[in-house]
Structure 1
């Protein structure tokens, strides 16, 4: 039997924050970002997750994120988009709002870790100007960890990141017609 030991969580600010990019066509990019959230929360760090694609919908991650100490999140995304190459002005505006909120939060001093979920694909599709995303990275305070997820990470972003992991799809249940499953994919 494993005994749970209660220990107080003490926040020690990061001495050096880095830029992490999780990209590629395989599953696990958001999960990797949320793994960072879980570890950071467990160490008392203050975390903000900004969703660029997802809306506030019924998902397991949204159900539990607000229960983690020191974790906040906001969703700006349009949800499923059928023709990403022709985004409406509203979709572009939501992406811009998310980026402005990311900048505000990153520079506020209120957070140690900022996760920008699906910013890579939004940028890859041209909903955000890569120059603006690179400026965000350049302006990152030393003690802030910036985590950026999503397929289609632009080469310029990969170049400036400190850590880049590409998830490669070998097989996926979607290819066999198995839809997303509650509690596993959402």
Structure 2
């Protein structure tokens, strides 16, 4: 196999499927014998399907750094701030360690937009990334600076959503 260049990929936009796209990349990476580390910012429910499923996968490590409730923009709970700081520090350690081929920072864009993590901290994580590591940043509201620094940006746009029909979040679909 020829040597691989690590990339910075951003999945953003108001549509559904950003985390799902990152999970698809993770499955591909594992299929090629690569190691994956995923940190979920602002998520703390151990019953999410991806948390359950990844416990069965080789070479996949997932850590949640959030509470099991919504964060109030402009007035986050101190625990939300603490967990986000822990997540950012963990991301720094994992990326700097160079052990993982794919590092996914799920909902990091929202954490930046909500002021839980600074944009500068995320930009420095990109700079810290080893050459072979691919870094994925997911979540709505990706900043212009993060998108400029990325190698690829995909915007997931909502055209139609079942929530508008009164159909709530479902296991296996939303979580």
TM range (shorter): over 0.9
Partner Cα distance (1:170, 1:50) in 2 = 28
Map 1:126-145 to 2 at 5 A. Answer: 126-145=115-134
Residue of structure 2 equivalent to 1:5: none
Helix, strand or coil at the partner of 2:153: strand
Q: Is the 8 A contact 1:117 1:148 kept in 2?
A: yes
Map 1:32-181 to 2 at 5 A. Answer: 32-81=21-70, 83-181=72-170
Shift, 1:14, TM fit: 5.4
Shift, 1:143, TM fit: 0.7
TM-score (normalised: structure 1): 0.89
Helix, strand or coil at the partner of 1:87: coil
Residue of structure 2 equivalent to 1:7: none
Helix, strand or coil at the partner of 2:62: strand
Shift, 1:160, TM fit: 0.3
Could you tell me which runs of 5 or more consecutive residues in structure 1 were left unpaired when the two chains were aligned.
1-11
Pair member with larger Rg:
1
Change (3 A) 1:71 1:164: same
- The Cα RMSD (Å) is 1.4
Change (3 A) 1:53 1:144: same
What is the aligned residue count?
A: 175
Q: Is the 8 A contact 2:71 2:80 kept in 1?
A: no
* 1:182 maps to which of 158, 161, 171: 171
Helix, strand or coil at the partner of 2:80: helix
Change (3 A) 1:147 1:14: farther
The C-alpha deviation readout for 1:91-122, integer Å capped at 9, x for no partner, is 11111110110110111122111001000111
Could you tell me which runs of 5 or more consecutive residues in structure 2 were left unpaired when the two chains were aligned.
none
Moved over 6 A (4+): none
The C-alpha deviation readout for 1:36-90, integer Å capped at 9, x for no partner, is 1000001000000101011142122111112111111111112332522211222
Q: Is the 8 A contact 2:42 2:80 kept in 1?
A: no
Shift, 1:174, TM fit: 1.1
